[in-house]
Amino acid sequence: VSDRASRLLQALSAEPQGRGAELMLVTSLVNVRYLTGFTGSNGAVLVGPDRRVFLTDFRYVEQSAAEVDPSFERHIAGRDVFEDVAGLMPPGEVRLGFEDRDLTVHQHATLREKLPATVELAAAGAAVEAQRAVKEPGEIERIRAACELADAALREILDGGLAGRTEAEVALALEDAMRHRGASAASFDTIVAAGPHGALPHASPRDVRISPGQLVVIDWGAVLDGYCSDCTRTFASGEPDEPARAIYELVLDAQLAGLEQLRPGVACRDADGAARRVIERGGHAEQFGHSLGHGVGLEVHEKPTLSGRSEDVLEVGNVVSCEPGVYVPGELGVRIEDLCVITPSGREVLTHLPKELVVVG
Q: Which part of the chain contacts Zn ion (CB under 5 A), choosing from 13-21, 230-238, 250-258, 342-350?
A: 230-238
User: Which of 52, 276 has the CB closer to Zn ion?
Assistant: 276
* Residues 19-48: x where in contact with Zn ion by CB under 5 A, - otherwise, as a string: ------------------------------
For residue 304, is the peptide bond before it cis, meaning its omega torsion is within 30 degrees of 0? yes
In angstroms, give the least distance from the CB of 337 to Zn ion.
5
Instruction: Find the DSSP H helices in the chain.
Output: 2-13, 29-36, 61-67, 105-114, 127-132, 137-158, 167-180, 242-261, 268-281
Exactly one of 45, 321, 322, 324 binds Zn ion (CB under 5 A); which one? 321
Please, which residue, 35 or 252, has the CB nearer to Zn ion? Answer: 252
Provide, rounded to whole angstroms, the least separation between the CB of residue 147 and Zn ion: 12
Helix (H) / strand (E) element for 23: namely strand 23-26
Least distance from C-beta 203 to Zn ion, angstroms?
12
Sequence letter at residue 328? V
Backbone angles phi, psi at 63, to 5 degrees: -60, -40
270 three-class SS: helix
Candidate list 102, 151, 167, 230; residue touching Zn ion; CB under 5 A: 230
Question: How big is the CA angle at 200 (ends 195 and 201), to the nearest 5 degrees?
Answer: 115
Q: Does the protein bind Zn ion through residue 299 (CB under 5 A)?
A: no
SS (H, E, C) 40-80: CCCCEEEECCCCEEEEEEHHHHHHHHHHCCCCCEEEEECCC
Instruction: Tell me the window of 105-113, 155-163, 266-274, 319-327 that interacts with Zn ion (CB under 5 A).
Output: 319-327
Query: Smallest distance from the beta carbon of 322 to Zn ion, in angstroms?
Result: 9
Q: At its nearest, how many Å lie between Zn ion and the CB of residue 301?
A: 7
37 backbone φψ class: left, alpha, beta (φ>0; ψ -120 to 50): left
Only segment of 107-115, 222-230, 256-264, 284-292 that touches Zn ion (CB under 5 A): 222-230
Backbone angles phi, psi at 18, to 5 degrees: -90, -5
Binding segment toward Zn ion, per CB under 5 A, in 88-96, 152-160, 163-171, 224-232: 224-232
Nearest CB to Zn ion, comparing residues 242 and 309? 309
Contact of 7 with 44, CB cutoff 8 Å: no
Q: How far is the CB of 264 from Zn ion (least distance, A)?
A: 21
d(CA 223, CA 225): 7
Residue among 82 and 220 whose Cβ is closer to Zn ion: 220
Size of the site for Zn ion (CB under 5 A): 5
Q: How far is the CB of 230 from Zn ion (least distance, A)?
A: 4
Taking CB under 5 A as the binding criterion, the range among 44-52, 76-84, 105-113, 329-337 that sits at the site for Zn ion is: 329-337
Of 100, 144, 92, 133, nearest in space to 116 by CA: 92
Select 57 or 337, whichever has its Cβ closest to Zn ion.
Answer: 337
Q: Check: CB of residue 104 under 8 Å from CB of residue 257.
A: no
Residues 43 and 61: their CA atoms lie apart, in Å, by: 11
Nearest distance from residue 197's CB to Zn ion, in Å? 16
- Binding positions for Zn ion, 181-220, rule CB under 5 A: 219
Expressed in angstroms, the distance from the first to the final Cα of the chain is 47
Nearer to Zn ion, 102 or 219 (CB): 219
Q: What does the binding site for Zn ion look like in residue numbers (CB under 5 A)?
A: 219, 230, 232, 321, 337
